[in-house]
């Protein structure tokens, strides 16, 4: 994962880092100020026994004694002058900085100090000691000649001071404070990284932990403190090689960490592979050191410093490259790493003044290393912000996709509901049902206080559908007062949402969304959604509402055109009554129902009298007009549930379900009378027409519709024959076409 800059919090990190550094600087200043050693006695450097020139170094206050590995004891003469006794009661001590030596001791003419071993510190060495303290006999004064005998484990240098016992103690205390600060800081950072790992599960935090632990062990070993810790003191077995092994492992882990921090894998895969290989090499070298072979030490003490320097250089380059890409805090990390190198090797190349405090020289680079680790840790903490952002984005994306899925399901379910419900409905019911389904399917996904689908002239209907029903009165008054505004918005065909205020209350009381219903002008319609408070409708919610509205409109159109199609197939084009095919179907259905319910059913044949004459006298257009008006009049004269169809030409058929006998005859008479009363205006003239009606009632379960129709037809024939403009009822059995009538 590539850490990216999170805007807006830069200053926070800078302030945090400055505070950290200020705290660090203040602590150091206090530590150094509190323990200014007393003015030490001058040391006259002489030449070492093996002829190696001794660095007079410390300007007569400290002595730089090189330590060479090789197994032989190296003796360095020291001479200094103690003031006459009595000036102070405190004893004089020789303080030698804690260089890595197998043995170290002081020897005078008739005096020898106890021998100290770096890897096996004496119980009296003190906690977190930073030097070997050799108390001198109390009665010594004047010129003192001593030999510092050391058997080196590693190359390097020790610094020698002669000072009062109290001053040496303070020097030790200061060293202990600084060492505790270094170990404490590294430990704390390790715990912090463990916590971050358990929170973010990014392995980079584990790498930081390992690098920190290895650095902690390596520094504790370099300072000699590791060999005071139970169990860990077993490391003394490896002596100098163990120390190098820890150092190389820590350097490798730190480089690996920097490589990951700088996202080298993503940016420069080849460099990342090279770093991995180099870190592996450092690990192998560490393993070789731990094998404890003779000669390894000689090799590693020569190559080791260069390897560490090279590793530091690589780290600086990686951090600098990351800084170029503006990875957070990569710049300060590169600088602190550079400072580590300067502090580590500065003493060797004479970078620091000879009189520099030995404690600072010893612990300086370690403190800078802690600052480096802390800076890196702050940079790492920033990664948590990146994770959080990413997690939030993931969560948001998941929520969005879940919402999209829910909306898609709602849309599909509305589509299914519309398709299955609207198909069976007649005109009038379609629009109403569609709007009800719209609200029922929308509201579970768009929480509102109330919703209203207001439609005017929607396929000829005015509808105001409100959910919940309890809000009907409120919506009615709202629509009444805002009719014009709603209509204006509906015409724009654009959804909008707006805050709702009330004259008697402060602030916004609700939020209202208006989604126009695309109804053909002059009709208009609006879906009105209102939720209390200031919570706005989400774009997704409005999109769902728009999509559902569109779906409803499309389905209503389809349902209505399907109805029209169905009707045109069912109805007679001229009169709008059922055509013959449909009326035959109805006839069959009515007979089945009559059979099931044991009810009567009657069939009436209605035929216009002398219609040919109308055609001939007034023309076919008037004839058609007559047929239309007669059909309409018959329709009006029928009761609910009665069926009217055009059987052909000027002949209509009427089915009266549930009626027979006298009731049917009355109905037939009513029809006849209605037509007789009818006046038809056609081309400025008024026409009068009459009809003859033949009536037959189903005789029983055995009679088929065709038989009843046949009997009705014969009854009609009888009516015609008997003078027209009358109703004739068919008897049970006709004797031919000229059979009797009732
Ligand atoms: N204008 C018009 N005339 C039609 C239509 N269908 C049939 N007709 C006419 O209706 C007339 C039926 O004539 P007829 O069968 O002789 O019956 P009628 O003249 O009504 O005499 P009666 O039934 O015996 O009283 C014919 O002239 C047809 O052309 C139609 O759809 N429109």
**Residues 209-236: tens digit of each pLDDT:** 999 999 999 999 999 999 989 899 899 8
Residues 470-510: tens digit of each pLDDT: 999 999 998 888 888 899 988 888 999 999 888 777 778 89
Q: Which residues of 643-655 are buried (b: 16+ CB within 10 A; e: fewer)?
A: bbbbbeebbbbbb
Average pLDDT over residues 27-42: 59
d(C-alpha 350, C-alpha 357), whole Å: 14
Q: In this structure, is residue 440 part of a structural domain?
A: yes
d(C-alpha 450, C-alpha 471), whole Å: 7
Task: CATH number of the domain at 645, please.
Answer: 3.30.70.270
Site to probe by mutation for ligand 1, drawn from 609, 623, 631, 724 as the one with most ligand atoms within 8 Å of Cβ, is 623
**CB of 357 closer than 6 angstroms to any ligand 1 atom:** no
Same-domain status, 341 and 460: no
Same-domain status, 336 and 349: yes
**CB of 720 closer than 6 angstroms to any ligand 1 atom:** yes
pLDDT given for residue 329 in this prediction: 87
**CB of 652 closer than 6 angstroms to any ligand 1 atom:** no
pLDDT given for residue 285 in this prediction: 93
d(C-alpha 709, C-alpha 692), whole Å: 15
Q: How far is CA 358 from CA 133, 158, 174, 361, in A?
A: 14, 9, 11, 5
Confirm if 549 and 513 have CB atoms less than 8 A apart.
no
Does the pLDDT at position 169 exceed 70?
A: yes
Same-domain status, 242 and 319: yes
Of residues 349 and 516, which shows the higher confidence score? 516
Average pLDDT over residues 134-163: 84
Same-domain status, 552 and 577: no
Structure tokens given for 33: 């100020």
Question: Which residue in 591, 535, 549, 256 sits closest to 410, CA to CA?
Answer: 549
Find the 606 Cα to ligand 1 centroid distance in Å. 13
d(C-alpha 472, C-alpha 382), whole Å: 55
pLDDT given for residue 4 in this prediction: 43
493: left (phi over 0), alpha (psi -120 to 50) or beta: left
H helices of 292-357, where? 296-324, 330-346
Q: In this structure, is residue 402 part of a structural domain?
A: no
Confirm if 37 and 167 have CB atoms less than 8 A apart.
yes
Question: Which residue in 422, 335, 348, 414 sits closest to 376, CA to CA?
Answer: 335
pLDDT given for residue 322 in this prediction: 94
Find the 615 Cα to ligand 1 centroid distance in Å. 7
Q: Look at 70-84, 186-200, 432-446, 694-708 and tell me which has the smallest mean pLDDT.
A: 70-84
pLDDT given for residue 738 in this prediction: 39
Average pLDDT over residues 337-366: 79
d(C-alpha 242, C-alpha 223), whole Å: 13
Q: Which domain holds residue 92?
A: 43-169
- Pick from 297-311, 346-360, 391-405, 726-740 the range whose average pLDDT is largest: 391-405
With 0-12 CB in 10 A as exposed, 13-18 as middle and 19+ as buried, what is 253? Answer: buried
Q: In this structure, is residue 95 part of a structural domain?
A: yes
- Boundary residue ending a domain (169, 195, 216): 169
With 0-12 CB in 10 A as exposed, 13-18 as middle and 19+ as buried, what is 15? Answer: exposed
Residue 589, CB half-sphere, CA atoms under 13 Å: how many? Answer: 10
pLDDT given for residue 353 in this prediction: 63
Q: Which residues of 164-177 are buried (b: 16+ CB within 10 A; e: fewer)?
A: bbebbbbbbbbbbb
Among protein residues, the one whose CA lies closest to atom 31 of ligand 1:
649
Confirm if 161 and 40 have CB atoms less than 8 A apart.
yes
**CB of 556 closer than 6 angstroms to any ligand 1 atom:** no
Same-domain status, 300 and 437: no
Same-domain status, 85 and 139: yes
Q: In this structure, is residue 158 part of a structural domain?
A: yes
Task: CATH number of the domain at 485, please.
Answer: 3.30.450.40
Task: CATH number of the domain at 290, please.
Answer: 1.20.1070
Same-domain status, 48 and 22: no
Residue 710, CB half-sphere, CA atoms under 13 Å: how many? Answer: 13
**CB of 609 closer than 6 angstroms to any ligand 1 atom:** yes
Residues 610-662: tens digit of each pLDDT: 999 999 998 999 999 999 999 999 999 999 889 999 998 899 999 999 998 88
pLDDT tier for residue 543 given thresholds of 50, 70 and 90: very high
Does the pLDDT at position 526 exceed 90?
A: yes
Total domains present in the chain: 4
pLDDT tier for residue 273 given thresholds of 50, 70 and 90: very high
CB within 8 Å of 740: residues ≥ 6 apart: 718, 731, 734
Confirm if 154 and 69 have CB atoms less than 8 A apart.
yes
- Boundary residue ending a domain (533, 568, 603): 568
pLDDT given for residue 52 in this prediction: 57
For the CA of 620, the nearest atom of ligand 1: 1
Among protein residues, the one whose CA lies closest to atom 3 of ligand 1:
623
Find the 664 Cα to ligand 1 centroid distance in Å. 26
Question: Which residue in 670, 681, 579 sits closest to 622, CA to CA?
Answer: 681
Structure tokens given for 518: 């695309």
d(C-alpha 169, C-alpha 173), whole Å: 6
pLDDT tier for residue 6 given thresholds of 50, 70 and 90: very low
Among protein residues, the one whose CA lies closest to atom 13 of ligand 1:
612
For the CA of 609, the nearest atom of ligand 1: 25
Among protein residues, the one whose CA lies closest to atom 18 of ligand 1:
610
What strands lie across the sheet with 643-648, from one edge to the other? 643-648, 651-657, 601-608, 691-697, 727-729
- Boundary residue ending a domain (536, 568, 600): 568
Q: How many angstroms separate the most distant Cα atoms in the chain?
A: 169
Same-domain status, 555 and 628: no
Task: CATH number of the domain at 111, please.
Answer: 2.60.120
For residue 496, what is the enclosing H or E element? Answer: strand 496-501
Find the 742 Cα to ligand 1 centroid distance in Å. 26
Find the 574 Cα to ligand 1 centroid distance in Å. 14
pLDDT given for residue 737 in this prediction: 41
For the CA of 574, the nearest atom of ligand 1: 31
Same-domain status, 19 and 68: no
DSSP state of 236: G
- DSSP percent split of the chain into helix, strand, coil, nearest 5: 55, 20, 25
Confirm if 324 and 9 have CB atoms less than 8 A apart.
no
pLDDT given for residue 405 in this prediction: 92
**CB of 615 closer than 6 angstroms to any ligand 1 atom:** yes
Does the pLDDT at position 419 exceed 60?
A: yes
Find the 612 Cα to ligand 1 centroid distance in Å. 5
Among protein residues, the one whose CA lies closest to atom 14 of ligand 1:
612
Q: How many helices (H) and strands (E) does the chain have?
A: 17, 20
Q: In this structure, is residue 66 part of a structural domain?
A: yes
Residues 67-124: tens digit of each pLDDT: 766 667 888 888 888 887 665 667 889 988 888 888 899 999 889 999 999 999 888 8
For the CA of 724, the nearest atom of ligand 1: 25
Same-domain status, 560 and 577: no
Of residues 535 and 604, which shows the higher confidence score? 604
Rounded to two decimals, the ipTM of the complex is 0.97
Same-domain status, 646 and 685: yes
Q: In this structure, is residue 691 part of a structural domain?
A: yes
Q: In this structure, is residue 418 part of a structural domain?
A: no
Backbone angles phi, psi at 576, to 5 degrees: 75, 5
pLDDT given for residue 64 in this prediction: 66
Same-domain status, 612 and 693: yes
Share of the chain above pLDDT 70, in %: 88
Find the 698 Cα to ligand 1 centroid distance in Å. 28
Average pLDDT over residues 393-401: 92
**CB of 572 closer than 6 angstroms to any ligand 1 atom:** no
Q: In this structure, is residue 470 part of a structural domain?
A: yes
């Amino acid at each position: 994962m590539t850490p990216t800059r999170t805007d807006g919090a830069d200053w926070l990190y800078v302030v945090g880092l400055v505070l950290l550094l200020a705290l660090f600087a203040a602590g150091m200043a206090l530590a150094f100020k509190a323990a200014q050693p007393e003015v030490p006695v001058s040391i006259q450097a002489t030449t070492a026994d093996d002829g190696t020139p001794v660095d007079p170094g410390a300007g007569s206050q400290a002595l730089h004694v090189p330590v060479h590995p090789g197994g032989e004891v190296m003796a360095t003469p020291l001479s200094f002058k103690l003031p006459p006794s009595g000036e102070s009661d405190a004893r004089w001590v020789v303080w030698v900085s804690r260089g890595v030596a197998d043995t170290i001791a002081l020897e005078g003419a008739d005096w020898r100090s106890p021998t100290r071993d770096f890897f096996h510190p004496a119980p009296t060495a003190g906690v977190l000691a930073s030097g070997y303290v050799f108390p001198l006999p109390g009665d010594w004064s004047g010129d003192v000649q001593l030999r510092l005998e050391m058997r080196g484990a590693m190359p390097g240098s020790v610094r020698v001071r002669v000072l009062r016992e109290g001053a040496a103690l303070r020097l030790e205390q200061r060293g202990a404070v600084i060492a505790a600060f270094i170990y404490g800081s590294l430990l704390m950072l390790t715990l912090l990284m463990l916590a971050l790992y358990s929170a973010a599960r990014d392995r980079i935090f584990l790498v930081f932990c390992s690098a920190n632990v290895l650095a902690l062990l390596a520094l504790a070993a370099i300072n000699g403190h590791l060999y005071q810790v139970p169990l860990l003191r077993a490391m003394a077995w490896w002596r100098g090689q163990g120390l190098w092994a820890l150092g190389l492992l820590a350097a490798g882990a730190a480089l690996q960490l920097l490589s990951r921090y700088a996202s080298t894998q993503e940016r420069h895969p080849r460099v990342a592979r090279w770093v991995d290989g180099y870190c592996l090499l450092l690990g192998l070298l560490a393993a070789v050191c731990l094998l404890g072979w003779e000669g390894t030490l000689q090799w590693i003490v020569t190559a080791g410093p260069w390897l560490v320097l090279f590793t530091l250089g690589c780290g600086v380059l990686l951090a600098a490259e990351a800084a170029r890409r503006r990875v957070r805090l990569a710049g300060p990390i590169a600088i602190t790493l550079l400072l580590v190198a300067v502090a580590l090797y500065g003493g060797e190349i004479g970078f620091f003044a000879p009189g520099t405090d030995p404690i600072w020289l010893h612990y300086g680079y370690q403190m800078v290393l802690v600052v480096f680790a802390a800076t890196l840790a702050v940079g790492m903490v920033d990664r948590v912000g990146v994770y959080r952002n990413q997690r939030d984005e993931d969560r948001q994306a998941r929520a969005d996709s879940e919402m999209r899925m829910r909306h898609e399901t709602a849309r599909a379910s509305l589509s299914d509901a519309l398709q299955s419900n609207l198909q069976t409905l007649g005109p009038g019911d379609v629009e109403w049902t569609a709007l009800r389904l719209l609200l029922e399917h929308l509201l579970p996904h768009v929480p509102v206080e109330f919703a209203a689908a207001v439609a005017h002239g929607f396929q000829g209907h005015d509808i105001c559908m409100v959910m919940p029903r309890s809000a009907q009165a409120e919506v009615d008054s709202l629509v009444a007062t805002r009719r014009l505004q709603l209509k204006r918005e509906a015409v724009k065909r654009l959804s909008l949402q707006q805050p709702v205020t009330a004259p008697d209350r402060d602030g916004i009381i609700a939020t209202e969304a208006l989604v126009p219903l695309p109804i053909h002008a002059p009709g208009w319609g609006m879906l009105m959604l209102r939720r209390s408070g200031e919570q706005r409708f989400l774009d997704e919610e409005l999109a769902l509402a728009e999509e559902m509205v569109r779906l409803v409109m499309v389905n209503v159109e389809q349902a209505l055109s399907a109805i029209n199609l169905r009707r045109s197939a069912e109805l007679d084009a001229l009169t709008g009554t059922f055509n013959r095919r449909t009326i035959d179907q109805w006839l069959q259905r009515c007979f089945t129902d009559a059979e099931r319910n044991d009810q009567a059913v009657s069939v009436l044949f209605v035929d216009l009298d002398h219609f040919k004459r109308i055609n001939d006298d007034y023309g076919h257009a008037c004839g058609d007009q007559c047929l239309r008006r007669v059909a309409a009049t018959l329709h009006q004269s029928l009761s609910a549930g009665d069926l009217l169809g055009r059987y052909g030409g000027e002949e209509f058929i009427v089915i009266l379900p549930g009626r027979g006998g006298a009731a049917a005859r009355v109905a037939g008479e009513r029809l006849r009378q209605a037509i007789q009363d009818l006046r038809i205006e056609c081309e400025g003239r008024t026409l009068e027409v009459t009809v003859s009606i033949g009536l037959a009632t189903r005789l029983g379960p055995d009679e088929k519709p065709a038989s009843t129709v046949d009997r009705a037809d014969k009854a009609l024939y009888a009516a015609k024959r008997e003078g027209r403009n009358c109703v004739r009822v068919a008897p049970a059995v006709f004797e031919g076409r000229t059979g009797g009538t009732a």
